[in-house]
Amino acid sequence: MSGAGELLVARDAAEQARLAAELMARAIDEAARGRGVARLALSGGTTPMDTYRCLSDLALPWAQTEWFWVDERAVREDDERSNYRNVMRALRLVERGVPEARIHRMHADWDDRDAAARSYAVALRASFGVASAVAFDVMVLGIGEDGHTASLFPATPAPFVEDRLVAAVDAQPAKGLEARLTLTAPVLRQARLTLVLCQGAHKRAIVEAARAPGSLADVPARLLQLVGGRVIWVVDPAAAP
Ligand code: 6PG
C-alpha cells in the first residue's frame, strides 16, 4: 500500500496546469530515453484540458510517445462529450508528430461494448507485450464528487473488476451517465506515475475522503492508495484538503 500519495498544491489553476504538464514532460523524457517509448493514459473531464494544452507546447520526443485513454463515453468521436475529441483538440498529437498508429481511441460507441473492451485490451497487450505488466509511464486521473475515478463509479461492480484490463460500464440514467468503457483497477494500480488533477472547493471533501482509509465501495478513488508507483495529487488551493 502506497498511502495517500504526494500532495502538490498549486497557487492557481494556471500554475496547476504548468506543474502537471512539467511532471508529464519529465516522465515522457525519462521513459523515451530509458525504454524507447513513453506510454500515457489520459482522462477526459474538464480539469486536465489546460494541462494538455500546456504539454502540447513543450518540446518532447513526440514520435516516441504512445497514447491511450483512461475511459470513454458511449458517444461518437465528434460528440462534444467524447474524451477522445476533447483530448485530441487540446493536445494536437498528430500535429506534434505522433504516429496515428500510436493514438488509441476507445470505441465505447460500439453496440457490443464488451467486444470493444476486449479489443482495447488487445491493443494494450500489443503495445506493452503479452508477458509484461500494463504499466503506464503516466496516468492522468480526476475525481468526481461521488468518489469515482476513471469510470469506476460507487455502487457499481466496476471498481472491483480484477480479471480484465478494460471493462464496459452500464449507463446510469438516474445520474445522467451514459454507458462507458474504462481501464480497470489492476491497470490503475500499475502506473509508474499517476497524476490526480482536482480543482475547486466542491472537490475538497472528496479529495480528503479519497486520501483517507475507508471502503472502496463508497469511494472508488481510494484505490489510488494501492498504486505501486508514484501518485501525485496536483490540486488548486480550493480543492486542497
Ligand atoms: C471523465 C473521467 C472522470 C473525470 C472526473 C473529474 O471522462 O469525465 O472519466 O473520471 O476525471 O469526473 O472530472 P472533471 O475534471 O470534469 O471534474
Which residues of the chain register pLDDT less than 70? 1-2
From CA 84, how far away is CA 129, in angstroms rounded?
A: 24
Burial 84-113 (b: 16+ CB within 10 A, else e): bbbbbebbebeebebeeebbbbbbbbeeeb
Q: What pLDDT, on the 0 to 100 scale, is given for residue 13?
A: 97
Q: What pLDDT, on the 0 to 100 scale, is given for residue 2?
A: 62
Amino acid at 214: G
- Mutation probe of ligand 1 site: the residue of 43, 83, 223, 233 with most atoms within 8 A of C-beta: 43
Q: 83 in ligand 1 pocket by Cβ < 6 Å?
A: yes
pTM to 2 decimal places: 0.97
From CA 109, how far away is CA 52, in angstroms rounded?
A: 24
Q: What pLDDT, on the 0 to 100 scale, is given for residue 131?
A: 87
Distance between Cα 147 and ligand 1 center (Å): 11
Contact 196, 5 (CB under 8 A): yes
